[in-house]
Structures are given as C-alpha cells and as structure tokens.
Amino acid sequence: MHETGVIPVKSERQAMDWSLVLVSQGIESTIERVPESENWQLSVPSNDYARAVQALRQYHAENKRGTWVRELPAGLLLDWRALAWAAAMLLIYFANATSGDMWESAGLMSSQLVRAGQWWRLFTATSLHGDVAHLAFNVTTGILLVGLAMGAYGPGFGLLTCYLAGVGGNLVGLLLYPSTHQSLGASGIVMGALGAITVQSAGTTSMVVRNVILRAFCGGFLLLVLLGLSPDPRTDIVAHIGGFATGALLGFCLALGRARLSRAADYVALALCVVLFIVPWVLALR
C-alpha cells in the first residue's frame, strides 16, 4: 500500500481547482471527504507531497484574490468588476438614446451589411439594447453571470470569453438566418457566461468532480431553457444558443489549461477585450 500525504482544503470547489493544478504538474491526487465532517482534502503520493505543496503555493501567489472577488455558497466566486461591463452597457444605451439612435443604426447586427464587409457589427451589436426593459434584464442577469465567469477564470479571461461568446452567437445567426436578419443585445454575452460557468469544473478525472460537472451541465442547460428560449417572438434564440455553446467551448478550453493561466496572461486577455470593444465602435461611428 502506497503512503500518501494529505493536503487540507476549504471547500469542494477548491479541492477541484487544486487537483487540476497538480494534474498539470504531473502529480496524481485524490479528492476525499473527511469522514464524519463537512471538510475536504487532497491525498497525494508521499514522494510527491513536497512538490505538490510548492506547486500550490506558486499557484496561490499567482492567483491571489483581490478585494473585488467574493466566495458564494457552493464554492462559486463572484467578481464584482463585472459592474464595469454593466456600466459600459448603460453608457452606450444612453449615448444612443441622446443621439437619435445613431449608435443603433451604426452598430446593430445586420446580416446583409456584415456580408457586405461591415464585420464590426458582430461585435458592436452585443452592447446595444432596444429598450429599458431589454437593457435592465441583460444588465441585472449579466452582472451575476459575467461576474461568476470572471471569478472562475480571472477578470480578463472571463470577460473576454463572455464577449467572444456574444460575438459567436451573432456569427451563428449570420450563418443560419436570411440576409434580412437584424438583431441587437447583450443576451449572447449573458448566455455565453452561463455556458462558461457550466463547464468550469472540466479537466479532471475524479469521480466526485465528474458528478459535479454532470450536475452543473444539467443546471446550465435548464437555465438556458429558462432564460434563453423565451417564446417572445423578439427573442433571438439562435444567438442565445450560439452564445451558450461558444461560451461553453471557450470555458472548457480555459478549464483544461487553468493551472497554466498566469496573472500576466489574464491582463493581456483583459487588454485584448478592451481593444475588441473599442475598435469596432470606432469603425462603426467613423
């Protein structure tokens, strides 16, 4: 029987994250629940214990939580910097309202115009809203879901994933809808955040985590049906499903490589997200 070393953890979510870190370093670990307790722990081979502790210390140093990140029940992390995204949605809405819908005309998703070369509309349409109710729903829901995605993957990677998911939803609509199709709204971003959150525990072979992933997928799918498949004829169901699928795909890739995502790389992802937000609007309004 092989001797093992025990590493205590604060929650099941932390145990899953740390297990992924160790797997990336070639260290096998087992997630265990402490008998007669609500606590969790990781068991690693005793000859790998020192290396495992060092790897986790380095991971903790590189991924230290800031004052904006708060832990919610079930080990979820909410990054309140999602409020900056919400503020951008509000600013663009009021800029459009005070300009006689100039921003909407320049930036809404039009399949015909995108196919004519105005590719930036795939991006700009994700920050436009038709009315206050549309804006309020996406912003309030988005603060939570985008914040959870940023908490799961880092503010840069999380926000970039959500934004690209919204673009992906518009791209799916471009491919499936006729050339007369037009749409706008951040629903693809919100659904993309939901998709990314759904797969955040991917990347481990632990049976405990497999069960968590299955429950998360089922919960995410049910939320997609509830939030994204409205019978309202104005609802862009294709963009919602496309956004969810894109977010899930990007989130899955990030979850597999989470242990290798440094803070510096997260800053680069955040800068890229800002560039991809500003440049399309500059092109649209020129």
Q: Is 240 a catalytic residue?
A: yes
Q: The tokens of 112 are what?
A: 């015909």
Residues 6+ apart with CB under 8 A from 25: 51, 52, 55, 259
pLDDT of 98 higher than 90: yes
Q: Total domain count for the chain?
A: 2
C-beta atoms surrounding 285 within 10 Å: 14
CA distance 282 to 286: 6
Measured CA distances, 119 to 103, 172, 239 (Å): 16, 13, 16
Task: Single out the residue in 62, 84, 103 at which a domain terminates.
Answer: 62
Binning pLDDT at 50, 70 and 90, where does residue 250 land? very high
Q: Are 240 and 266 in a shared domain? A: yes
Q: Is 129 a catalytic residue?
A: no
pLDDT of 283 higher than 90: yes
Domain limits for position 33: 4-62
Q: Are 89 and 17 in a shared domain? A: no
Provide mean pLDDT across the span 105-132.
95
Q: Are 8 and 85 in a shared domain? A: no
Q: pLDDT digit string (tens) for 36-94?
A: 777 888 888 888 888 888 888 877 765 665 677 787 766 678 899 999 999 999 999 99
Q: The tokens of 64 are what?
A: 């230290």
Among all chains, which residue has been given the structure tokens 């899955």? 252
CA distance 111 to 48: 56
Amino acid letter at 118? Q
pLDDT of 218 higher than 60: no
Provide mean pLDDT across the span 219-233.
52
Q: Are 110 and 187 in a shared domain? A: yes
Q: Looking at 29, 110, 187, 201, which residue is catalytic?
A: 187
Q: Residue 276: what pLDDT?
A: 97
Binning pLDDT at 50, 70 and 90, where does residue 257 land? confident
Q: pLDDT digit string (tens) for 133-145?
A: 889 988 998 998 9
Q: Are 53 and 129 in a shared domain? A: no
pLDDT of 234 higher than 70: no
Q: The tokens of 251 are what?
A: 């989130």
C-beta atoms surrounding 229 within 10 Å: 12
Q: pLDDT digit string (tens) for 159-198?
A: 999 999 999 999 999 999 888 999 998 989 998 998 898 8
CATH code at position 172: 1.20.1540.10
Provide mean pLDDT across the span 256-281.
89
CATH code at position 12: 3.30.70.1530
Q: Are 56 and 83 in a shared domain? A: no
Rounded to two decimals, what is the model's pTM?
A: 0.74
Is residue 32 within a helix (H) or strand (E), and if so which, with residue range? strand 30-33
